[in-house]
């Protein structure tokens, strides 16, 4: 039997921000699909069902756990958006230099947090 080269395993790779952003991109996409779509459908169903159903939705959405879900979904959206733009630039063939890649990885996380904070500041205070 011929000896074939082994693929690098997770223990060989050196963790960096670019790996975190890539993994978070997948997690936030799944989170928006698994949590965001049911919340959206519940909201639309409550709108269609009338004032009592919508009041029930509002009560749950305005509770502490509802706010955690909504803030988490908005962070997932903005994080997925920022990392998606980063991946788009990488797909065009730019940004593969190590320093540039790390800088844009960190910036995509920071920008996502800033956009989330700005979004909720606008929702609550405007």
pLDDT along the chain (126 residues), means of 10: 66 82 95 97 97 97 97 98 94 90 95 98 93
Binding-site residues, in ranges, read: 80
Q: How many CB atoms lie within 10 A of CB 36?
A: 19
Given this model, what pLDDT does residue 5 score? Answer: 63
Task: Name the CATH code of domain 17-125 (choices 1.20.1300.10, 3.40.50.10540, 3.40.50.1860, 3.40.190.10).
Answer: 1.20.1300.10
Instruction: Enumerate the H helices of 14-63 as residue ranges.
Output: 17-31, 37-49, 51-61
Q: Distance (Å, rounded) from C-alpha 21 to C-alpha 81? A: 11
Given this model, what pLDDT does residue 15 score? Answer: 82
Given this model, what pLDDT does residue 13 score? Answer: 73
* 7 phi/psi in degrees, rounded to 5: -70, 145
Q: What does the DSSP 8-state code read for residue 13?
A: S
Given this model, what pLDDT does residue 126 score? Answer: 83
Binding-site residues for heme, in ranges, read: 80
């Amino acid at each position: 039997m011929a000896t074939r080269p082994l693929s690098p395993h997770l223990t060989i790779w050196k963790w960096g921000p670019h790996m975190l952003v890539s993994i978070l991109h997948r997690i936030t996409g799944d989170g928006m699909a698994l949590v965001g779509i049911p919340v959206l459908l519940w909201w639309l169903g409550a709108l269609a069902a009338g004032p009592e159903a919508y009041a029930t939705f509002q009560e749950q959405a305005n509770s502490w756990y509802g706010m955690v879900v909504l803030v988490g979904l908005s962070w997932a959206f903005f994080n997925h958006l920022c990392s998606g733009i980063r991946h788009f630039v990488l797909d065009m063939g730019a940004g593969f230099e190590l320093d540039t890649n790390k800088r844009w990885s960190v910036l995509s996380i920071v920008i996502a947090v800033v956009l989330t904070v700005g979004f909720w500041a606008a929702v609550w205070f405007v």
